[in-house]
Amino acid sequence: MNKKSILITGSSRGIGRACAKAYAKAGYHVFLNCVHRVERLEELAYEILSDGGSCTTVPGDVSNPDEVRKIFQIIEKECGGVDILINNAGIAWFGLLTDMTDNDWDKILATNLSSVFYCSRAAIPYMVSKKCGKILNISSMWGTVGASCEVAYSATKSGIHGLTRALAKELAPSNIQVNAIACGVIDTEMNGRLNEEERQDLMDEIPSGRFADPEEVAELALKLTDTPAYMTGQIIGIDGGFI
């Protein structure tokens, strides 16, 4: 395969879906991943292929290290590895910390943070062998400032920020860049729980006065993967001036 390849986790909806379409349009071969909505993943693949793009579906649970190994076995057979990894898979949990169960806590840590470790670990050897590569972690502004009633979510995003900075230092000698995007309020299904009054109250707090579209995050991601190699270990905010 002559095209550069990219794996985007959680690409059946929201930011991941927007990124998949943007990278396919830019000429990348996109490996599409999700665990729960495989039919939407197949629909996305059909859309990309119909538009002349190139993609492969690799469904699986990236919070499970065994499934990550299987995903990368498929990738390795097809093209050796990925030039770019976007760790996007994530879930939210809203409520008081005291109402959170052990299973809730374990699930959000595995999905939001451990998946970044598992996928990065699997992607790195190929990148090191080529002496180039990009890892981009989709995070949140709550990883910087924290959010009430989203303690676990905020903790996982803070963990991503620390992982990003540390891994960037570890991989810089191999010419691999690791950065993160700290998203503000994006108009995705994750925020679909909000009613109209809550949406308006939240928009009133955002200096830009609106939620971002997933496509805006995808546009930023695409630009970040074309930045100079000297840019690494950065947490780039896209939050409409919120923080």
Instruction: Tell me the pLDDT of the chain (243 aa) as tens digits.
Output: 678 999 999 999 999 999 999 999 999 999 999 998 899 999 999 999 999 999 999 999 999 999 999 999 999 999 999 999 999 999 999 999 999 999 999 999 999 999 999 999 999 999 999 999 999 999 999 999 999 999 999 999 999 999 999 999 999 999 999 999 999 999 987 777 788 888 898 899 999 999 999 999 999 999 999 999 999 999 999 999 998
Beta strand 84-87 pairing with 5-8? parallel
Say which amino acid occupies 116.
V
Question: How much is the pLDDT for 123?
Answer: 98
- Residues acting as catalytic residues: 153
The string of pLDDT tens digits covering residues 195-235 is: 888 889 889 999 999 999 999 999 999 999 999 999 999 99
3-state secondary structure of 49: helix
Question: How much is the pLDDT for 197?
Answer: 87
Helices then strands, counting H and E runs in the chain, come out as 9, 7
Give the DSSP letter of residue 97.
G
Under 8 Å CB-to-CB from 52, ≥6 apart: which residues?
none
Question: How much is the pLDDT for 1?
Answer: 62
What b/e readout covers 179-193, taking b as 16+ CB neighbours within 10 angstroms? bbbbbbbbbbebeee
3-state secondary structure of 10: coil
Tally of CB atoms within 10 A around 170: 12
Tell me how many degrees the CA angle 152-60-176 measures, rounded to the nearest 5.
75
Distance CA 159, CA 144 (A): 10
Return the structure tokens found at 231: 């840019």
Map out the domains of the chain with their CATH numbers: 5-238 (3.40.50.720)
Say which amino acid occupies 23.
Y
Tally of CB atoms within 10 A around 49: 12
Distance CA 139, CA 235 (A): 9
Question: How much is the pLDDT for 2?
Answer: 72
